[in-house]
A and B are shown apart, each in its own frame.
Chain A
Amino acid sequence: MSLAADGTPRRTFLILLEEPHAWSAAASLALQAPAGSIETLIAPIPGVRFLAAKGREAADLDAWWGRMATAPGRTVVVAAHEDDLPRWIPGLDADFVIAVPDEATAALYQHLSNVRSSVTDDPRQLAELALRQLGPPSTPASISEPADDTSRNPRQTELKPPEAAERVEQPAVHDPFELISRAEPIELEPGLNGSTPEPDTFGRKTAPAPVRPPLGQAPPRVPTTVSEPQARAASGPSRAGLDPRQFLDRLGQGRRASVGAELGQAVLACKPIVAAVVSRKGGVGKTASAAAVAAILGEAVDPFGHTAALVDANIGNPDAWGRIDMSGEPTTVREMVRRLMAGQEPPSPAFAETPALAVYPESREAGDGYAPAQIQRAATYLKARHAAIVVDLPNRLPAFTSAEAAVAAAWIAEADVLVLPTTADPTALLGAIEYLDADSVQGKPVVVSYIVPRARQIRDAPQVRGMLDRIRASATALVEVPDDDRATLALIRRVAITEVASELRHAYVSLATRVVEAAANRNGQGS
């Protein structure tokens, strides 16, 4: 069994890697861990700094840990070697899986029993190793129940005996284009004029030998006068011909879905729209969905001179941003609320590289909640300035039992429509059903964004299909979003998730469209 009797995850995997490696590792864990068996947290501060924090910072991190970590088992820490790391580990009550650059560095951890080191620079491999060696399915007996809640905190200490480093074999990955580039050259048949091909025919980098055309036959080389489209193509992307972006899109990816003027007009017809992106469970793509819907809505209203806004209300995990590349110093939600409550005008927001999208990240020091009146004030302010506002909420059911749940409740009260992402993970599906059944959600249109698993066995599992049917019956609409690692790639490349893969973009255009339709119907603007 990988789940505790009450269905909560057995172990917390705490990732201390820097972004974007942290996200890659987290994605790998999410893909490979049995559903609901672990919970994954990305530390607000990576590396040794998380362990070495002092004073106020340490108190904040402990509070963060107290809020976020729920699994009863011994924590697994996924980290990369730093010079100071070996001296911080002794005594910590956690298992460590550490990426090291070489065997010599691995030796620095040999005396530590709670450390598995691995010579790798691949965060996914590191995560897989952590899961294989310390995850619930493979080593259920190794899970030790903590004596008390604080003993799970890897920032607290305790010592254990040593173990040898493990080397992870890197699979040889062949670049097929490189293989072709090394292919045996083939000889061209003699041409019309019977001459032999030029030496550079086979891609050699030697200068071509001059070939003298036979007498009376003009040399048929015509290339230097290229057509106008060719000239454009040679100097960069050409719209007339083989536009590389078009080419990319069509190579197995399908067309780049466009955001039509209709969507922008629909938004403006019922503006301002407030969409709250909600979830009961983490790891379902909530932040990605919020960023994607906001980016699409920004694109939709941009031609009409309006803007959309993306608001991070995820006070429990305010460091989750990074899905949008922002320019300038962002105004945080906390600062905006502080100014508004003081009767002052908040500073201008940061705008994403995506056109017409203002981004309001949450302060890293967030943790305290907001009073409903503060959220009401912030919503009023945002609604006066933006045609569409997408709010990323904490992973909590709306309630007034905790700061995060109260923030969720207050924003949901302001929302015209809810976006509820879920994966096929049964705990996520159950969480979605719970959300749909919540009292404060009743009467609000809910658009479910379902991340469709790649494995057919999961897609077709009766348990999954049954729960999806229940969700479909309660939700306003359900939009399927492909499970695509390139959502993580978007983070790595610092591009909008809507720009990294056409299937993802297409799905998110559909999702944004359903969101606007739902809001329009609620506001009496729908057809």
Chain B
Amino acid sequence: MNGWGSLGRGDAWGSGAADGSRPPGPETMRGVCFCLLYDLCCWLAGAHRVVSDEVDEYTMTELRRVEDPRDRLRRYVSPKLLQTWEGALRPFFSSGFLLDPELGEAGSFQDHGRDAGGHPKAELTFGNRSSVVDSSQRRHDLPPRDWILTVWLSPKPGRYVENATIRLA
């Protein structure tokens, strides 16, 4: 093991076989993208709470009870990727900002199956309409922009999110 688990349930990734020979289905990938973006937003928002039952798109059932979104992420995201994001987000957190997440209505999801390296890949486009709140509780609107979250799973058994990027749509 790499120090982080594979995902919640044994079949958390859906229909993919344990040896990773078959790509996970689109619904599974959709769930992964949702969970990743959800947990990322919770992390940025400083929201330390369990994932409510009402959020039924959150497919990582066994992680629902974990309150710290970073702990949830650690369970299915490569430590290397998390480390990279932590470094990238240092200016945000060190300034005492918190995200007040609001994602726009222009969204789409696309499952790309496997890339040439055998990594199951999917993309989620979302509109960011969030604002951030500074340490003085002042709200600053972020420029409304559409982003593409691309997610690659490890092709190896016990799949995890090996890489993810965010780029302008």
Residues on A lying within 8 angstroms of B by beta carbon are 124, 171-177, 179-186, 188-193, 195-198, 201-203, 205, 208, 211, 213, 219-223, 226-227, 229-230, 233-238, 241-248, 250-255, 454, 485, 489, 501
- Most B CB atoms within 10 A — which of A182, A191, A485? A191
Residues of chain B within 8 A (CB-CB) of A246 are 57
Bound CA–CA A190/B163 (angstroms)? 12
Given contact pairs A179-B92, A203-B165, A227 touches B26 in the complex (Cβ within 8 A): yes
Pick the contact of A237: B105, B150, B162 (CB < 8 A).
B105
Q: What CA separation (Å) do A236 and B107 show in the bound complex?
A: 7
Task: Tell whether, in the assembled complex, residue B165 and residue A174 are in contact, meaning their CB atoms are under 8 Å apart.
Answer: no
User: Are A180 and B54 in contact, CB atoms less than 8 angstroms apart?
Assistant: no
- Does B110 contact A242, Cβ atoms closer than 8 Å? no
Interface with A: B7-15, B60-68, B118-126, which one?
A: B118-126
> Using a Cβ–Cβ cut-off of 8 Å, how many residues does chain B contribute to the interface with A?
79
5 closest cross-chain pairs (CB), A and B: A244-B107, A191-B118, A222-B113, A191-B117, A192-B118
> Which residues of B (150-167) have their CB < 8 Å from a CB of A?
150, 152, 154-156, 162-163, 165-167
Q: B167 touching A252 by the CB < 8 A rule?
A: no
Q: What 1/0 mask marks residues of chain B from 129 to 156 whose CB sits below 8 Å from any chain A CB?
A: 0001010011111110101101010111
Which of A176, A250, A254 neighbours the largest number of chain B CB atoms within 10 Å of its CB?
A176
For this complex, 16 residue pairs linking A to B, each with C-beta atoms less than 8 Å apart, are A124-B138, A174-B132, A183-B87, A186-B80, A190-B117, A192-B118, A195-B116, A201-B163, A202-B165, A220-B23, A222-B114, A230-B111, A233-B107, A236-B108, A241-B30, A242-B57
- Inside 8 A of A250's CB, which chain B residues have their CB? 38, 54-55, 57
B73 interface residue (CB < 8 Å to A):
no
Interface residue ranges of B29-84 to A (CB < 8 Å): 30, 33-34, 37-38, 41-42, 44-45, 47, 54-55, 57, 78, 80-81, 84
Q: Are B84 and A181 in contact (CB under 8 A)?
A: no
Q: What chain A residues lie within 8 Å of B84 (beta carbons)?
A: 183-184, 186
Query: Given A179-B89, A189-B162, are A197 and B116 also a contact pair (CB < 8 Å)?
Result: yes
Whether A176 lies near B165 (C-beta < 8 A) is no
Q: Is the CB of B117 within 8 A of A195?
A: yes
Query: Are B109 and A230 in contact, with the CB atoms below 8 A?
Result: yes
A392 to B38, CA, bound (A): 39
Interchain CB contact under 8 A, B167 and A203: yes
Which residues of the other chain, B, contact A237 by a CB distance below 8 angstroms?
105, 107
A220 to B117, CA, bound (A): 9
Residues of the A chain whose Cβ atoms lie less than 8 Å from the Cβ of B112:
221-223
Q: A221 and B107: CB pair below 8 A?
A: no
The answer on a CB contact under 8 Å between A173 and B140 is yes
Is B85 positioned at the interface, with any CB of A under 8 Å from its CB?
yes
Q: Whole-angstrom distance from the CB of B149 to the nearest CB of chain A?
A: 9
Residues of A within 8 A of B126 (CB): 244, 247
With both chains docked as a complex, state the minimum distance between the C-beta of B147 and any C-beta of chain A, in angstroms: 5
Q: Which residues from 3 to 27 on chain B have a C-beta closer than 8 Å to any C-beta of chain A?
A: 20-21, 23, 26-27
Which chain A residues lie closer than 8 Å to B127 at the CB level? Answer: 244
Residues of A close to B20: CB separation below 8 A: 192
Q: Is the CB of B1 closer than 8 A to any CB of chain A?
A: no
Instruction: For the complex formed, measure the closest distance between the CB of B129 and the CB atoms of chain A, giving whole angstroms.
Output: 8
| CA A186 to CA B140, docked complex, whole Å | 31
Q: Which residues of B contact A175 (CB under 8 A)?
A: 128, 132, 142-143, 145
Contact A181:B92 (CB < 8 A) given known A220-B113, A237-B105: no
Q: State which of A205, A213, A235, A252 has its C-beta within 8 Å of the C-beta of B108.
A: A235
The smallest C-beta distance from B102 to any residue of chain A, in angstroms, reads 6
CB closest chain-A residue, reference B116: A211
In the complex, which residues of chain A have a beta carbon less than 8 angstroms from the beta carbon of B163?
186, 188, 201-202
Tell me which of B55, B110, B128, B134 contacts A230 (CB under 8 A).
Answer: B110
Q: Across the interface, do A173 and B23 meet the contact criterion of CB distance under 8 Å?
A: no
Asked, given contacts A192-B118, A220-B23, A251-B38, whether A176 binds B109 with beta carbons under 8 Å apart, the answer is: no
Which B residues are in CB contact (< 8 Å) with A196? 117
Cross-interface CB contact of A180 among B80, B88, B111, cutoff 8 Å: B88
B140 adjacent to A185 (CB under 8 Å): no
> Which residues of the partner chain B approach A244 to less than 8 Å between Cβ atoms?
103-107, 126-127
Chain A, Cβ-Cβ closest to B47: A252
Is the CB–CB distance between A172 and B95 below 8 Å? Answer: yes
Report the Cα distance A176→B131, complex, angstroms. Answer: 10
- Bound: A195/B165 CA distance, A: 20
The answer to whether A176 touches B99, judged by C-beta atoms less than 8 angstroms apart, is yes
